[in-house]
Every structure is written in C-alpha cells, then in structure tokens.
C-alpha cells in the first residue's frame, strides 16, 4: 500500500505538457516533479509514459508532473532538464536516451540542490555521483536470459548463424542487452557466428529496413536466428521476412525483448520463438522512489523491476494478459 503523506491537495493548474494532480487544496503541498522521457518510439515507451503520468495523477504526494518529451533527441532532453532546473522543481526524473553526455547538466541540477532520479535507462558509471538512484530493468540480465535460451534451444546446433538488431546506438538497453547475451554465449564457449549486427533504433520501420538489407546480403537458408533488442524491431523484421518469402519463427527463429501484446500475438501465430519481458509499468513505484529521495531517505543505487521470460508454450495463455 502506498503511504499517503499529504491529503487535500489541489485546485491544480493544468499546463500544456503537464499532468496536474491533487483533489482540492493548495498545490504547494505536494511535490512538483519533472519527467524527461525518451520519446514515443515503441509500445513499451507509450505504456511507460502512461504509467508514470497516471501514477502521478493518482498520487496525493505529487502536486504536479511536468512531462518533457525528448522526441528521441538528447539535445531536447538536456534543454528539458535545464528548463526544469530554472523552474525550481523538487526533483527531476530522467530516462536518458543515451548513456553519455550527461555530466554538465546533471552537475547543474546538483549545484541547484535538485535531486535527479534515473528511470528506465542508465548513464555512464563516471556520472553515478550525479544521480541518486535508478529505477528500471536490469538490461544485462535481459540479454543473459536471451542467451540462456539460445544455449538450450540450439544445444545441438553446429555453428549457429546469428543476426542482431540492436536498439538505439549508445543507449543503455542496446549496450547491455548485447553484453549480457554475448557474455552467456562466450562464457559457455558456444559455437556461433554473428553474421551481422545493425541498429534499428528500437523502431519498427528501421527494424524492417535493416532486415531487408540483411536478406539481400545473406542467404536466408544460412541464417538460424535473429535477436532483436525490442518488439518493434522484431515485428518489423518479421514483416520483412514474410515479404521475402522467408518464414519467421521457422526458417529463421526470432527472439524479442519487451513483450507487448503485438509481440505475443506474433508468438501465437508462430512467427517468433522467445520473449524476454521488459516491464514498463513502474509509475507507482517511481512515485515512491521520488518521494523517498526528496525526503532524504537512504536509497539503493539501483532498483530492478520484476520481469519474466516466455516461450512458445506460454504465448497463447499470456497474450490477453499483456498491459501494453
Ligand atoms: O525495450 C524499447 C524502448 O529503454 C527499456 O526502449 C527501454 C527500451 C524498450 O524503445 O522498446
């Protein structure tokens, strides 16, 4: 149960780009927080934005959430953070598009005594003194889970030929999902060849375009597996395979990460083989974290959201349970 510290908040101002919260009373009683989001590149992202906005709106401890859409451009995120600093918000939550380039702006927040919390994606280790805590997924673990399935599924294969569709270049989930995956394969001395690996920027169209190029460059008969760092790219690639007369999930097996309803549906249709879940619905947990941080509570540097894995036997049972 959520602790209700403050009651009677309110007559909230509705500003463009803001979710004003509270149910009557003085707006000054609750926290004003900024949330600098990545963009709207995937179903995961849309679900994540909704979860955070809804949680803020339902939470009496939060007076206002100022939402900044980074539109997948770091400059927009940097500008957003600086605006929030100028506005003197109580805390700034950032979902950093990429891991690098945060030192100066986070230093500015610190100089202004505004705590920064990372949501979802992480940043470079060197900057870890510049934020209080990160709430999000363990992306390395997600990659490991995908790798563990490969060890199992292709235990008898002689030399697996693999394609990888990477997420946005320089982003924590792209870096870490690759790292975890290859650590597991290499750690076991698994016999594979990474035939090619390109970024599809976590988006369906890019994933499709990259897969089209792969299918022009390589003989589909020689490829065993596609590892896509998210649903959208995997679904785009599946479409490219179908258009090229290649059977996804069969001629080329497919792993995706996220687990949207559309991803599960493709699984039900036999077009993909393994789903590593990434959970976007951490809004309520984020409100607890923000409140604790502002109250000066001792925090762990990282809190992982819970996530599972799903294989062919699970797809049909699970498809209707998906929240995004
Ligand atoms: O997997 C992808 C989204 O950062 C975990 O970003 C997130 C990733 C997610 O675009 O679909």
CA of 46 to the centre of ligand 1 (A): 10
Nearest-atom index, ligand 1, CA of 136: 5
Hey, which of 37, 38, 44 would you mutate to test ligand 1's pocket, going by the most ligand atoms within 8 Å of its Cβ?
A: 44
The answer to whether the CB of 282 is under 6 A from ligand 1 is no
Residue 28: predicted pLDDT: 56
Hey, which of 122, 175, 278 would you mutate to test ligand 1's pocket, going by the most ligand atoms within 8 Å of its Cβ?
A: 278
The answer to whether the CB of 44 is under 6 A from ligand 1 is yes
CA angle, residues 265, 269, 272, in degrees to nearest 5:
80
Residue 18: predicted pLDDT: 67
Tokens representing residue 187 in the block: 């750690």
Residue 80: predicted pLDDT: 98
CA distance 308 to 278: 8
The answer to whether the CB of 315 is under 6 A from ligand 1 is no
Q: Yes or no: say if 229 and 166 are a contact pair by the CB < 8 Å rule.
A: yes
Tokens representing residue 167 in the block: 């997420």
Beta bridge partners of 64: 20, 32
What kind and span of H or E run contains 41? none
The answer to whether the CB of 42 is under 6 A from ligand 1 is yes
The answer to whether the CB of 278 is under 6 A from ligand 1 is yes
3-state SS, residue 143: helix
Give average pLDDT by consecutive 10-residue segment, the chain, 324 residues: 36 48 53 98 98 98 98 98 98 98 98 98 98 98 98 94 98 98 97 98 98 98 98 98 98 98 98 98 97 97 94 96 93
- Whose CA is closest to atom 8 on ligand 1? 173
Tokens representing residue 248 in the block: 């996804």
Residue 158: predicted pLDDT: 86
pTM of the predicted model over 0.75: yes
The answer to whether the CB of 64 is under 6 A from ligand 1 is no
By CB neighbour count within 10 A (0-12 exposed, 13-18 middle, 19+ buried), where does 105 fall?
A: buried
Residues 6+ apart with CB under 8 A from 106: 81, 116, 127, 130, 131
Q: Yes or no: say if 25 and 9 are a contact pair by the CB < 8 Å rule.
A: yes
Residue 1: predicted pLDDT: 33
Hey, which of 118, 168, 230, 263 would you mutate to test ligand 1's pocket, going by the most ligand atoms within 8 Å of its Cβ?
A: 230
CA 275 to chain centre: 14
Residue 7: predicted pLDDT: 37
The answer to whether the CB of 230 is under 6 A from ligand 1 is yes
Residue 20: predicted pLDDT: 59
């Amino acid at each position: 149960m959520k602790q209700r510290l403050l009651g009677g908040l309110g007559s909230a101002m509705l500003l463009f780009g803001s979710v004003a919260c509270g149910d009557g009373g003085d707006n000054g009683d609750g926290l004003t927080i900024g949330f600098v989001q990545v963009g709207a590149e995937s179903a995961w992202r849309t679900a994540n934005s909704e979860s955070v906005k809804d949680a803020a709106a339902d939470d009496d401890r939060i007076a206002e959430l100022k939402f900044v859409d980074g539109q997948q451009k770091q400059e927009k995120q940097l500008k957003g953070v600086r605006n929030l600093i100028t506005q003197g918000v109580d805390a700034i939550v950032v979902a950093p598009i990429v891991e690098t380039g945060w030192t100066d702006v986070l230093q500015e927040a610190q100089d202004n005594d505004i705590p920064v919390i990372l949501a979802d994606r992480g940043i470079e280790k060197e900057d870890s003194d510049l934020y209080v805590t990160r709430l999000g997924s363990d992306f390395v673990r997600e990659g490991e889970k995908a790798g563990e399935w490969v060890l199992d599924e292709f235990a008898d294969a002689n030399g697996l030929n693999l394609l990888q569709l990477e997420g946005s270049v320089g982003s924590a989930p792209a870096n870490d999902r690759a790292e975890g995956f290859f650590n597991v394969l290499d750690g076991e001395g698994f016999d594979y060849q990474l035939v090619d690996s390109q970024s599809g920027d976590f988006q369906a169209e890019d994933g499709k375009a990259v897969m089209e190029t792969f299918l022009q460059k390589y003989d589909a008969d020689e490829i065993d597996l596609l590892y896509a760092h998210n649903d959208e790219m995997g679904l785009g690639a599946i479409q490219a395979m179908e258009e090229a007369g290649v059977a996804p999930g069969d001629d080329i097996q497919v792993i995706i990460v996220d687990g949207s309803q559309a991803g599960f549906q493709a699984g039900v249709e036999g077009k993909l083989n393994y789903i590593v879940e990434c959970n976007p619905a951490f809004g309520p947990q984020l409100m607890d974290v923000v409140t604790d941080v502002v109250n000066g509570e001792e925090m762990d540097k990282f809190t992982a959201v819970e996530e599972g894995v799903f294989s062919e036997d699970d797809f049909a049972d699970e498809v209707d349970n998906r929240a995004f």
